[in-house]
Structure 1
Amino acid sequence: LHLPAFQALEAHWRGLAYLVMSTKTSDNLILRVLDCSYDEVKADFKKATDWDQTALFKKVYTQEYGTLGGKPYGVMIGDFAQFSAAKPDVDALERMAQIAAASHCPFVSSASPHMFGLTSFTDLNKPTSLKKVFNGLDYLDYNSLRSFTDSRYVSLVLPHVLLRAPYDAVNNPADGFDDFEETLGAGADLRSDKYFLWGNPAYYEAALITDAFYTYNWLAAIRGEQGGGLIANLPVFTYTTDAGEQAMKIPTQVMIPDRREGELNDLGFIAICNRKLTNQAVVFGGKTIHNPPKWENSTLAGQMANSSEALSATLPYMLNAARIAQYIKVMLRDTVGSFQTAGTLQNMVNAWLGTLVLLDDEAQQSVKARYPLRNARADVQEIPGKPGYYTATVYLQPFFQLEAIDVTISLVAELPPPAVAA
């Protein structure tokens, strides 16, 4: 049970099982699994002449989002790798970002402890400053990726999460083996992680996303203890120390204090934080890995630009904005072959956007979760030099979990041309 290869296999299946059992599937909420290894993904990226020639792009974009009648994916969860700042990982993340952006389908996976120059997340609190770590020369490629606009479609979660407690006949019996007991060995140091099964935290973020969609039909309610970010009933393990005292193995690989969580959030990581002495954890942050450009903050326009850029680097709002972009494309694709003008297309989009807007600032949070926009507008214009082609710029002003900022997100999509009159 403790062989690394077997633990990795068990972790994959248990992580997937957690997501499946935590998701209330329906005709509108579907889970699909693609069985592929990291080596296969990298080989696909290497073989293709460009990102839009990869098999993964064809699977995610062409076969669904880019096909009439297809069902676009809302989010991709990656369990084929734990990403570090090494060049091969950065290259793979760049490809994933491009595919995710083209498909308007955010990609959520896990960060490796090697991302922070560590061999285990148990040492995550040792560095004095994580910002200084990421300013090192080893992070040039990764920091360049973070400045790439498409990186706002990528989120990395940490640390590893305990998937099950060790088997024993009383506290955690193995199914079908009532008397089976997992032998940890005489003198085993139960403070060590090697005796425990740790898994990909991205599955837990995914479960928060599916729960938000099931509850509200939108995806912003995935942060904070009261805002949809609570993870309950995680496995814990208690044992007796050499001093005869009771101790508990917490369900996350490390206890993350508030200050470190803030550092991780500023660096674009989503941290799962265990509530001390409980089997619960909370996701407070929601950043993507994107490091948005900074504008002059001395003017109102600069302040608004900085706030808008920061918001577009946040996973909850990218999930919603991406879903809206998908719907608009599918809606307008149905107009192909009809005689439409920029004005009629604009009115059509704005009428639908109006159904998502809540005008009551005093409404309850549950109502705001169902109507995630405070304001919205679409501008449709004909593309110069391309008769019959239009571009739509959609401005979204999020309402739910706004955190005292008042900004817009701008999305641009090329619309299909109307039919040409005979």
Structure 2
Amino acid sequence: SVHDDAAKPVSVDRDNLYELPEQLGVCLNGILASADGQTEQIEFHEFEDFEPDELFEKLSLFENLRTLRRRLLNPKHFDSAAAEVMSWARSSEVSSAAEATEASGVSAAAPGSEDLFADVLSQSHDASGSPLETGNWEAFIQEVLAGSNIQKVDPRQDDLVALVDQAIEESMRLVLRSPKFRSLEMNWRGLRWLTFQVETHAKLKFYVLDISAQRFREALESDDWQSGWLAETITKPSKTPGAIPWGMVGCLFPLGVNQDDLILAAKLGDLCQTAGAAAAVELRATKPDWLEMDDAVHDFWQANRMTRPMLNMAGLWPRVQLRLPYGKKYKSTDRFSFEEVSQPGGSQLAWGSPVWLACAAIAQGYNDSGWGLDTSAVSQFGDLPLYYDPADDGDAYPCGEHLLTDEEFAKLMDLGLSPVISFKNQDRVQVRGLQSMRGGKLQGPWS
């Protein structure tokens, strides 16, 4: 929603899932619309609004590019349209020069404050720097034309139309990969996956708390974090006669492997422990960060996780693929030609939070065994997106972001993680038990 001041947990199930985007007022602000830097807001009323065909029809950016293409095909407007396209080369040159001049002075921005479900999840990196999301046309067109050689394009109709088609395709890629949009889309796809993965009923329900990353952090960093609104939201059901307390609180704001974020994780775990609940977070780091730690980083990590109240906190890694990429082989578009993946390596695939797996594991365990569930049991999830690159006759990309050997799995467990295990050329992953970040049994209502 545009405002989260009065955010309260909202129940979600298979019956109301598809009504939630409109109910919560899901929107994305500040998307670049035109060359003069105008931006617009996208509203999402249904899940189909995340699809490229819908974005192609709704976003002014693509309407303007379609209009430009039609003008190129009209003899009366060709000259002015051609001049506009060729001006992109000058914009690209200006942006490149400015970027080179300012490169040494760039500093990291503070985390964004976009809403989790109703706007977007704020990632651990700076989402505010995306030209698409800041109205910076020159920088945006430079990204769009990065793979072309526009300075050598002849001002002929066929060449210019092809360049606009390329701009349309690359612009859609940038929309889908922009930090705000990608986070928003993955949260909704993850919620849908969870809702259909586990059957809910009177004693098992899923709830969404639609707040911003900024508000989440402020709540845990404030002096009254143990009695403020977030503490009340988490602990009140456990103190109310007849109310059903939380079993698992999943944090969809990824946390970094640094002292400030570990303190936030510990505070969240403390609130959940007061409520008798467990918690799960995604720990955002690279594979070498975990498996090739130098001694100083290792000592820092061990000291921080072992000296904080992490007994009911599960830390998951890596991310999991939540949809196949758009393109002719898997999910073709109807209104324009589009291949989402433009380079090998898996970095452009739709990776989502592994916290969804933790929530599903606990929920399914409850359905099978009640509060006698065993958190050390293996949970397996199948029918996940399995992507084979059309340009490669080799293996599929794993459903989890990384394939892990048994030795690597053991090392991650020793670090207090609950790793997501993928299988070569198979559409499944496993979570081989949820452990606490302190190591050992994860505490919760089952303890």
- Normalized against structure 2, the TM-score is what? 0.56
Residues 240 and 247 in structure 1, CA contact (< 8 A), matched pair in contact too: no
Between the aligned partners of 2:296 and 2:355, the Cα distance in structure 1 is 23
CA displacement at 1:86 relative to structure 2: 1.8
Residues 161 and 198 in structure 1, CA contact (< 8 A), matched pair in contact too: yes
Aligned to 2:387: 237
Residues 155 and 288 in structure 1, CA contact (< 8 A), matched pair in contact too: yes
Between the aligned partners of 1:28 and 1:93, the Cα distance in structure 2 is 27
CA displacement at 1:172 relative to structure 2: 2.7
Residues 87/276 of structure 1: CA separation in 2 closer, same or farther (3 Å cut): same
Aligned to 1:265: 413
Residues 51 and 98 in structure 1, CA contact (< 8 A), matched pair in contact too: no
Aligned to 2:273: 101
Quick one: which of 74, 88, 106 aligns to 2:247? 74
- Is it true that 1:12 corresponds to 2:175 in the alignment? no
How far does the alpha carbon of each residue in 1:179-208 deviate from its partner, in whole angstroms, 9 at most, with x for none?
A: 6654247xx322141x21110001012112
Between the aligned partners of 1:88 and 1:6, the Cα distance in structure 2 is 26
Aligned to 1:339: none
1:212 counterpart letter in structure 2? G
Aligned to 2:165: none
Residues 314 and 417 in structure 2, CA contact (< 8 A), matched pair in contact too: yes
Aligned to 1:54: 228
Aligned to 1:220: 373
Quick one: which of 154, 160, 171 aligns to 2:330? 171
Residues 319/282 of structure 1: CA separation in 2 closer, same or farther (3 Å cut): farther
Residues 220 and 319 in structure 1, CA contact (< 8 A), matched pair in contact too: no
2:384 counterpart letter in structure 1? L
Aligned to 1:32: 207
Give the percent of matched residue pairs that are identical in Structure 1 and Structure 2.
18
Q: Within 5 Å, which residues of 2 pair with 1:61-210?
A: 61-62=235-236, 64-79=237-252, 81-113=253-285, 120-121=286-287, 123=288, 127=292, 130=293, 132=295, 134-137=297-300, 139=301, 143-148=303-308, 150-173=309-332, 178=334, 182-184=338-340, 188-193=342-347, 195-210=348-363
Aligned to 2:446: 320
Between the aligned partners of 1:278 and 1:68, the Cα distance in structure 2 is 46
CA displacement at 1:252 relative to structure 2: 1.1
Residues 124/274 of structure 1: CA separation in 2 closer, same or farther (3 Å cut): farther
1:276 counterpart letter in structure 2? K
More helix by share: 2
1:93 counterpart letter in structure 2? A
Q: What SS class does the counterpart of residue 218 from structure 1 fall into?
A: helix
Residues 247 and 277 in structure 2, CA contact (< 8 A), matched pair in contact too: yes
CA displacement at 1:239 relative to structure 2: 2.0
Q: Once structures 1 and 2 are overlaid, which stretch shifts more, 277-286 or 97-106?
A: 277-286
Residues 255 and 261 in structure 2, CA contact (< 8 A), matched pair in contact too: yes
Q: Within 5 Å, which residues of 2 pair with 1:375-394?
A: none
How far does the alpha carbon of each residue in 1:56-90 deviate from its partner, in whole angstroms, 9 at most, with x for none?
A: 1101112x1112222111110110x2122323212
Residues 395 and 425 in structure 2, CA contact (< 8 A), matched pair in contact too: no
Aligned to 2:106: none
Between the aligned partners of 1:161 and 1:181, the Cα distance in structure 2 is 27
2:246 counterpart letter in structure 1? Y
Aligned to 2:398: 250
2:343 counterpart letter in structure 1? D
Residues 6/290 of structure 1: CA separation in 2 closer, same or farther (3 Å cut): same
Between the aligned partners of 2:298 and 2:291, the Cα distance in structure 1 is 17
1:251 counterpart letter in structure 2? C
Q: What SS class does the counterpart of residue 199 from structure 2 fall into?
A: coil
Between the aligned partners of 1:256 and 1:208, the Cα distance in structure 2 is 20
Between the aligned partners of 1:282 and 1:104, the Cα distance in structure 2 is 26
Between the aligned partners of 1:13 and 1:252, the Cα distance in structure 2 is 18
Between the aligned partners of 2:372 and 2:251, the Cα distance in structure 1 is 18
Between the aligned partners of 2:268 and 2:446, the Cα distance in structure 1 is 19
1:87 counterpart letter in structure 2? Q
How far does the alpha carbon of each residue in 1:323-379 deviate from its partner, in whole angstroms, 9 at most, with x for none?
A: xxxxxxxxxxxxxxxxxxxxxxxxxxxxxxxxxxxxxxxxxxxxxxxxxxxxxxxxx
Residues 219/278 of structure 1: CA separation in 2 closer, same or farther (3 Å cut): farther
Between the aligned partners of 1:164 and 1:201, the Cα distance in structure 2 is 14
Between the aligned partners of 1:11 and 1:54, the Cα distance in structure 2 is 29
Residues 131 and 267 in structure 1, CA contact (< 8 A), matched pair in contact too: no
Between the aligned partners of 1:180 and 1:201, the Cα distance in structure 2 is 33
How far does the alpha carbon of each residue in 1:256-302 deviate from its partner, in whole angstroms, 9 at most, with x for none?
A: 111111111111100011112211111124221115xxxxxxxxxxx
Gaps of 5+ in 2: 1-175
